[in-house]
Structure 1
Amino acid sequence: MATRIPRPTGAMRKAPKQARSKATTAAILDAAAHILGERGWASFTTNAVAQAAGVSIGSLYQYFPDKIALIDAVRRRHFDEVLAVLQAAARPEIARARRIAALVDGMIAVHSRHPAAHRVLMEESPRGDNSRCAHDRFEIECRKAYEALFIANAGGTAAHVRVGAQVLSGALAGAVHEAARQGQLSSPVLRWELTALVNAYLSRARPAESASVSMDS
């Protein structure tokens, strides 16, 4: 079962259950991400989001009591999408090349969805207590998923799995975020370089539990 970031209590007035309400909230979140990326946090308003989503402001407020709750929901959806990519890439029953492709293609796809909004979410928009809790949970689940991916692809001692997963996570996230900033996510060269990076890093032999760690190993 896929891990999802739990919805913090009070973040939404009500959770969508029917297909129609789910479609409405999805449209609102898409519009919110678009407006956020286009205008930045300072010019982000619920009225603009409602207009872009094609819903009344009353309909928006049925689900999101204010723009902080709305931004938290956009951020939480992104977290869920990243975790889904990592879990697909960690599946041990699929071939190594497919796991790496799933990781690289998935990360590019997730960040290609409203790429300008990701920068605003990270650098401009405020984070309340609920958002910080969601981010902490995301980091825990993200670390677990990267470690599972690392075990499926590279192996090594417990320390190598833990630290290696951390290094791979930071390298890949940094490269993808910078590519989003530079408008390069659609570049086939980027995909080639990311695939080469991940493959080379996971292919390096790592010491067994009984072996000593050396920079020359």
Structure 2
Amino acid sequence: MSTRIAKQQPKMRKQPRQARSRATVETILQSGARILSDEGWAGFTTNKVADLPGISIGSLYQYFPDKLSLVDAIRQRHLDDCLAVIRKSNINQQSSAKFVAHLVHAMVAAHSAYPGLHRVLLDEAPSSDEYRNPNSQFEIEYLAYYAEAVAIFRNRCSRETDHIAAMVMSDAIDGVIHNAARRGTLDSPAIQSELIRLISLYIEDGEKPVTTGKARR
């Protein structure tokens, strides 16, 4: 399990404003993601991150005071990528089957650039209470999108219970994808196909009552 840091992790020293500085920060983030993916938290150092693309360690420290602030930025980039996926999935202009297929394939793609990264972020790299906050802005927007999809594809107005359905659906997608990344099976067409089938059945048939009594013998 990853180490928990009670206080908020250090942030970037400054935000890049010019095209050149934005390109430098992007290079640092990609290099850091690759080092984490290939070598894990134990092998993650700011020197390695700077050496891989051939930038100076001073340039790295100009934006990131230490490796905790760097891993925090890498984690935030991953969350931003996930939000970008759902923002591009147009709920109102496609069937539920096409919506789910597009969503699953796009989420898999977002996790495939550095397959080992997500295992490290989940299991090894330190994380702050801010990242674990269930009421973060990311969680609010992420779950709101799934809740909207539930209401639309069940052909009714939104309900308070849609939030629960949204959590179940998003946790199913995230859980399967993250575990596939851990196992090295993220590119398996069979796993993606089964995940699409699972979510498609849930989002369309979620209104059916579940029998909880004893089964007949």
Which band: TM-score by shorter chain? 0.7 to 0.9
Partner in structure 2 of residue 199 of structure 1: 200
Partner in structure 1 of residue 3 of structure 2: none
Partner in structure 2 of residue 102 of structure 1: 102
Instruction: State the 1:183 CA deviation.
Output: 1.3
Deviations 1:129-181 (A, max 9, x none): 55456983322222112212222323556144122111111111111111111
C-alpha contact 2:33 2:114 (8 A) present in aligned 1: yes
**Quick one: percent identity of the two aligned structures?**
42
TM-score of the pair, normalised by structure 1? 0.83
Partner in structure 2 of residue 163 of structure 1: 164
Which deviates more from structure 2 when the two are superposed, residues 98-107 or residues 149-158? Answer: 149-158
TM-score of the pair, normalised by structure 2? 0.83
Tell me the matched-pair count.
204
Q: Distance in 1 between matches of 2:34 and 2:113?
A: 9
Deviations 1:30-73 (A, max 9, x none): 11011112222122110000011221101111111111110000
Q: Distance in 1 between matches of 2:131 and 2:11?
A: 9
Q: Which amino acid aligns with 1:215?
A: V
Partner in structure 2 of residue 143 of structure 1: 143
Q: Which amino acid aligns with 2:210?
A: M
> How do 1:40-189 and structure 2 match up within 5 A?
40-128=40-128, 131-132=131-132, 136-155=136-155, 158-189=159-190
Q: Distance in 1 between matches of 2:186 and 2:47?
A: 30
Runs of at least 5 residues in structure 1 that lack an aligned partner in the other structure: 1-7, 208-213
Q: 1:32 to 1:161 in 2, by over 3 A?
A: same
Runs of at least 5 residues in structure 2 that lack an aligned partner in the other structure: 1-7, 212-217
Q: 1:134 to 1:20 in 2, by over 3 A?
A: farther
Quote the RMSD (CA, aligned, Å).
2.5
Q: 1:115 to 1:155 in 2, by over 3 A?
A: farther
2:210 aligned with 1:215, yes or no? yes
